[in-house]
Each structure stands twice: as structure tokens, then as C-alpha cells.
Structure 1
Amino acid sequence: MGGAGLGVAGLALVPEVRLFAQQVHEFIEGPPVPDVKPEQLSPHVWMVYAKEGFPTQENQGLMASIIFAITQKGVVVLDTGASVQIGQMAIRMIKTVTPKPVIAVFNSHYHGDHWLGNQAFAETYGADLPIHALAHTRDQIAGNEGNLWRSLMERWTNQATLGTKVVAPNKVVEHGQVFDYGDVQIKLHHYGRAHTPSDLCFEIVQDKLTYVGDIAMANRIANMDDGSYPGTFKFYDELKKAAGDQLWLPGHGRGSKDLLDTYGTFMKGIWEPCVRAVKEGIPIDGAKTLVLSDPRVASRAKTMDGFDSNIGKYTSLAYLEAEKEAF
């Protein structure tokens, strides 16, 4: 039976029409992302830097940095960006500093700005390219979360990321594993829920540099929808104890040796007033007043990306978690 008389809604149910729509979607791609010259951070580690902020049409979703290590055995990439176009740009940039192929990819967590570029690497270096992640991260990307992030990124960038497909990690890793790439060893760290339930940090042992993904940020208020405030502080303590003195490199912003301390101070400026409010029976609106007047928070209010639009929400999440902790 043909599609005549079915109308738009009816046509959408015809298998041939659905297949055609899918093929058109996959054929059309958003524009290329302009090149960003890589910066060398240490003897082995380079960064394709993304300015802090949030995904927009103007930045085409480029708001999380791509990190890569050039090793004796090849290039290892830590997070691949928010689209196939960003991944393609990162590959072009890697080729400007080394002829070595990419031999492995690691995804720090399941938020799409850190892994939607996987597609570009799999298409360039083969479907068998190892893409590593914790099991929970792999499962989230392979499930509904993966397509949700793909759709959100298209919407936020006004279709600039169109053509991006979900390519989930194909290798499951665990806390404490050490990957040996000849002259470089990469040690994996996971200490429970922080930014998400499955954050993975990567210690480049020889360089005393650790890429921390989104558990800390330089000057951007973090998404805590899936996270935990006390879990974050525990993660920081365990990570510092295990890795020692490091250059801590975030997915958003510049790295520093005191990143975990400075961002932890800001986070405690949200958490501790909420704990006090719960103990003293102060309602949530009062907790927000306490947070905004805390000097650890107030000192960053005018300069932190996303502060005004997010501080209320993440104070509410802290208050709810403090209530749960109290009972």
C-alpha cells in the first residue's frame, strides 16, 4: 500500500519513509569546526583547548578540551569532544604535531561533550580502535543517554553538530589499571560518585599531570545533576593521596597545581551552608541566601561562567543531598 492519503503523521510510520529520513539525517553534516592549534602542556601531553562556556551555535559545541598524549607506541586521546566535526578537527590537529596514529581513546564520563567525537576517531582509525571507559559510562552511552546527548547537542548548537552518531566505548576498564605505552604509563583513578557516578581520571605518570575530566573546573559552574557534593570531596582527597603533586587538568578551562583545592573551596561554599541550613531547620530559600553570602561563593559570582543561571539549581541539589545525608 502506498503513502497516498496518509498525511504527514501517517507517512512517518511508513518504513521506507523512516529509512529515507534516517539516511538524509546521516548524509547531512554540520559545518567543519575551525582549527585550534594544539598546546603542549608537558613532555608527552598536548591539548586542543576549548574556551569555557556552554554549547552554542557560535562555538559549534566546542566547549570541552581534547587531550592527547604522544607515546612511543602511538597517540592516546583523552576525551574526543562534542561532535564528529570536533573529533575531525582534533585529528587534523594531532597530525600537525606527530605522524603517529591514534592507538587508543579514553572517555572520562558519559556527558556528550566528552565523547560524541568518538565517531571521527573510529571512522579514521577503524572500528576496532580501543575506546575505553568504566562500565557504567559505557552502558549510559550505549543506552538512552547516548542519543539524548546527541539530540541535545544538535539543539543547543542549532544543528551545527548534525551528522554525529553515537559510538559507544568498546573496552571496559577499572580503577587502578595502568596502561603501558612504552615511555608513558597512564594510571586510571575512580573513587565513587563525584560529577557523575562513573568519573574516570587519567594520571600521566611520567609527566606528573592528571586529566580530571569534569570533577573540577577552572572557572565554570559544574553540572551536579548526576553528582554528589560529599562524593566530590572524597574523590579529591583520595585522588590527591594516590597521585601526589600534579598538574590537574580539567575538561573545561586551564589546568593548575591547586585546581582541586580552589574548586573544592567553591564547592564547599555551596555544600556547607546547605548542611547548616538543614541542621538548623532553615528552608531552602534561606539556604540559598546563606550560599550567596558565603565568601567562597560570592568571590566567584561575577567571573564564573554560568553562575547566575545555575547557582540556584545546584544549591537546591546540595540542599536535597544534605537532607538525605541528615536522615
Structure 2
Amino acid sequence: MKKITALWIFLGFLTANLFAWELPGYGNLHFERMGKSNVWIMHGPPEEPSVKNRGFMNNPAFVESEHGLIVIDPGGNYKVGRKILGEMEKVSRKPVIAIFNTHKHGDHWFANRAIAEKYPKAPIYAHPNMIKEVKAGEAEKWYGILDRLSHNLDGTKPFRYPDHELNDGQKITIDGQHFVIHHPKKAHTDTDILIEHKESNTLFLGDNVMKNRLGGFDSSSSILGNIELLEGIMKNGNYALYVPGHGPSGGKEETVGPFLRYLKVLKKWAQKAYDNDEDYYAYKKEAIKELGPIAKWDAFDHQMGKHLNKVYMEIEEKDMQ
């Protein structure tokens, strides 16, 4: 009997691995349960979208409720979404009953279509600013970016836009799971929501926090606003788990702390340059030296200078008001 049981266990393991999503260079990708909670996360490669990673580099997650799955940021294209859906079904055969999109950037929500194709009645929630902006051209802009970098967006169009609005402070209950929505006026973008899941004491941060990689700040972003948001998070509350948009999840200090430090170092040296009536790049080397190991994060070499320039311009604009 023991031999038969062992054989079945081995065959189950073999079958699961035969059909696992193997991304060359990254191994088998799968969802990981966060402790004993009902939160599951697949941590994508913390790097820029590329042909190698097929445009998958965010952190898709889901909350398992009694009757279904509630998905947060399913990924960056249709093909990735199909793979992610397959990995979800290995964890649970329950249907997807809702989707949250944290902000407008396509690497987080283009996989909506793959999920909605199988579960068309599942509502997709986002901030009204996101819904407005993606329909006004942001989706097409990001399609161009991700298609050029990953060459993996076949099937992503037509876009499956979010269709239910969520506003700051709103409380929403889905199949017995309780969520609170937080919308910073302007941080990573002006379309973001942070999602607090009460049952697991988890805070989904979106791209307001990244770890081990750097992304861009566009005209809808505010580095000063991002700093203010993260300082508030560091001072108030203590969640069991903090989930960034990119990079590993964990406790407050290890997850939120490094990105906040990065932004504050940029602000410090940009402020010094502004006060001394010098160009922002005059202190770039000093800022890099102070940042230490953060300088090894993915995309640092071509993002850090842009970020330093942006915060310099924000300081200047604030002074002119």
C-alpha cells in the first residue's frame, strides 16, 4: 500500500511539472501561498519587459474566497494571462469572480482579456482615472511599448478594460472578503489604487513600491507625492504582508523601506542642486554613492538620472507656486 501511495505522489508531481509554465532562464513559475493566509502570489522577474521574459515581470496575485478567486493585476499580455490562469487552476478550480487593476500601465492589466475570456461575468475594478485614461490612449501607448520590447502581445487586443469604479476610502466586500481602497492623488501615477485585504492583513501597493528594479515616472506621476505616500505607510499601521508591483513581497521595512530610501536620496540631492542653483546632474555621482546596493537594481543605469531630473523639476515647480 505504501508503495502504491508513493507511486501516486510521484506521478502527481511528475504530471504537474510536465505541464508547468517553464519560462527559459527563470525556471518553473507558479503561485506561492503567503504563509497560512488565503493570498497567493506569483512573483515575476524583477526586470524590464523583454523577449526573454515574454513581457512578464509583475506580481499577479489572487485571494481565495469560499466560492471563487479574486485576482489582482493578472499580467501584461494575453499569452501571459493564459499561462497565469493555468497556474491559478492548479491551486484551485474555483472560478474567478472579480479582478482588481491597480493602475493604468499595461504590464499589470493587459492579461484581463485572458481571464475575462473564460469568466466574462467577473467585474473588473479600477480607479475612474485609470478607466478614463486607458480608453483615451494610454492602453495603445503601452501596447506599443510592450510589443516592441517583448514581441509577445498577439491576442491582447481588443483590450478588456476595467468596468467598475473604485474611489479612495471605498470599502467593498466580495464573497465574504473585505477590501479597503486607497487612492493617492498623485504618486506612481494619478490612477493608482492600493488595496487593503482585511482577512489576511495584506496591503497590495501596486507600483508605488518596487524592489530590485526601477520603472519610469511619467507626466502623471509625482516623486514627491510617492515619498509622502510611503512615509505615511511607514508611520501608520503594520500589515502582515506588503506586496509591491515588482519584486519580492515581505514586511514593511524590507519591502517599502528600500524604495522610499531611494526616492528620498534623490530628493535630498536634487534639493541641494536647486538650492545651489546648479543642474541636477551635478550631484548624480554623490547620489549614486549614497544609494549603495540599490544601484544594482535592474534598469538603474538608465532610470536613475531621469528620476533625479524629475524630482528636481518638481522641487522647482513647488517653489514657484
TM-score range, shorter chain: 0.7 to 0.9
Structure 1 residue corresponding to 2:154, chosen from 158, 162, 173? 162
Name the CA distance, whole Å, in 2 between partners of 1:144 and 1:243: 37
What's the TM-score, normalizing by structure 2? 0.86
Corresponding residue for residue 13 of structure 2: none
Q: Could you list the runs of 5+ residues in structure 2 that have no partner in the other structure?
A: 1-20
Q: 2:264 aligns with which of 247, 265, 268?
A: 268
Q: Distance in 2 between matches of 1:292 and 1:310?
A: 12
Q: Does 1:100 align with 2:98?
A: no
> What CA distance in whole angstroms lies between the structure 2 residues aligned with 1:256 and 1:77?
19
Q: Name the residue aligned to 2:15.
A: none
Question: Which aligned pairs between 1:112-127 and structure 2 lie closer than 5 A?
Answer: 112-126=106-120
Distance of 2:234 and 2:193 partners within structure 1: 14
Pick from 128, 132, 138 the counterpart of residue 139 of structure 1.
132
Length, aligned pairs only:
291
Between the aligned partners of 1:307 and 1:147, the Cα distance in structure 2 is: 26
Is the counterpart of residue 317 in structure 1 residue 313 in structure 2? Answer: no
Give CA-to-partner distance per residue, 1:7-57, whole Å, 9 cap, x none.
xxxxxxxxxxxxxxxxxxxxxxxxx98562111114110012211001111
Match for 2:84 among 79, 90, 113? 90
The answer to whether structure 1 residue 245 and structure 2 residue 235 are counterparts is no
Q: TM-score w.r.t. structure 1 length?
A: 0.84
Q: How does 1:302-313 map to 2 (within 5 A)?
A: 303-313=296-306
Judge conservation of contact 2:124–2:162 (CA < 8 Å) in 1: yes
Contact 1:108 1:213 in 2 (8 A): yes
- Residue 291 of structure 1 aligns with which residue? 287
Task: Please state whether the residue corresponding to 1:250 is helix, strand or coil.
Answer: strand
Residue 178 of structure 1, CA deviation: 1.9
Q: Report the Cα distance in structure 1 between the residues aligned to 2:22 and 2:170, rounded to whole angstroms.
A: 34
Q: Secondary structure at the match of 1:265?
A: helix
What is the aligned partner in structure 2 of residue 8 from structure 1?
Answer: none
Aligned to 1:75: 69
For 2:183 and 2:280, how far apart are their aligned partners in 1? 32
Q: CA RMSD in A?
A: 1.8
User: What letter matches 2:102 in structure 1?
Assistant: S
Residue pair 2:203, 2:239 contacting (<8 A) in 1 also: no
Q: Distance in 2 between matches of 1:73 and 1:149?
A: 34
Equivalent of 2:39 in 37, 45, 49 = 45
Q: 1:203 aligns with which of 166, 191, 196?
A: 196
Structure 1 residues 138-174: Cα deviation after superposition (integer angstroms, max 9, x where no partner): 11111211112112211111x2222211211111111
Asked if the contact 1:274/1:291 (under 8 Å) is kept, the reply is no
Secondary structure class of the residue paired with 1:214: strand
With 144-153 and 109-118 compared, the bigger mean Cα shift is at 144-153
Residue aligned with 1:269, SS: helix
**In the aligned structure 1, how far is the partner of 2:95 from the partner of 2:236?**
31
Contact 1:50 1:252 in 2 (8 A): yes
* Contact 1:48-1:67 at 8 Å conserved across structures: yes
1-structure distance, mates of 2:66, 2:198: 14
1:242: Cα distance to partner? 5.7
Structure 1 pair 61–144 and aligned structure 2 pair: CA distance change class (3 A)? same
Residue 326 in structure 1 maps to residue 319 in structure 2: yes
Q: Secondary structure of the equivalent of 1:195? A: coil
